[in-house]
Amino acid sequence: MSLPAEFEQFHWMVDMVQNVDLGLVVLDRDYNVQLWNGFMTDHSGIQAHDAIGKSLFELFPEIPVEWFKFKTKPVYDLGCRSFITWQVRPYLFKCRNVRPVTQSAEFMYQNITLNPMRTTTGEVKSLFLSVQDATAEAIVYKNT
C-alpha cells in the first residue's frame, strides 16, 4: 500500500527542516518557541521537547530582552526581514563551537535572519529565525 502524495511531501519537508545545516527556530508574538530543529538541538544541547513552548528568554537569559524585541519589531509590524550579524553580536544563541578547523573560538559565531511568517490572511503572527554558523568567516576575518 502506498502513502498519499501529500503525506510523502510532508514527510520529506519535515526531514529537510530537521536535517538542514542551519538553525531554524519559530517564535510566536510572546517569544515562545514553536519550532526547534535538529541543528539547534545539536549545537545548543537543548532538546526540542525542552524548548518548544518555552520563552526564548527563559532558555537563553543572556539575550537582552529589549534589544531583541527592538530587532523583531519591524518583522512583526512591517512584515520585513531583520538581520543580526556576528560583527554586531557574535552570537544570539550560546552554542558551543564543535568544528575542528575553528577550534580557537569557544562559541559559534552566528549570522541570524529574522523572517516574518504570515497567516493565510497575510497577518504576521510569528517569525522564524535562521541561524547560520559564521565561525570560520569570523576567525578568518579576525586573523587578517
Query: What CATH code would you report for 5-142?
Result: 3.30.450.20
The pLDDT value recorded for residue 24 is 96
3-state secondary structure 108-139: CCEEEEEEEEECCCCCEEEEEEEEEECHHHHH
Measured between alpha carbons, how far is 29 from 45 in angstroms, rounded to an integer? 24
**Cα-atom radius of gyration of the chain, to the nearest Å?**
16
The predicted structure's pLDDT at residue 136:
87
Per-residue pLDDT at 134:
92
Q: What is the DSSP string of the chain?
A: -PPPHHHHHHHHHHHHHHHSSSEEEEEETT-BEEEE-HHHHHHH---HHHHTTSBHHHH-TTS-HHHHHHHHHHHHHH---EEE-TTT-S-SS--B---GGGTT-SB--EEEEEEEEE-TTS-EEEEEEEEEE-HHHHHHHHT-
Domain boundaries, the chain: 5-142
Q: Are 16 and 35 in contact (CB under 8 A)?
A: no
Per-residue pLDDT of the chain (144 residues), as tens digits, is 566 777 677 656 666 667 667 999 999 999 999 999 999 999 999 999 999 999 999 999 999 999 999 999 999 999 999 999 999 999 999 888 776 555 667 789 999 999 999 999 999 999 999 999 999 888 877 777
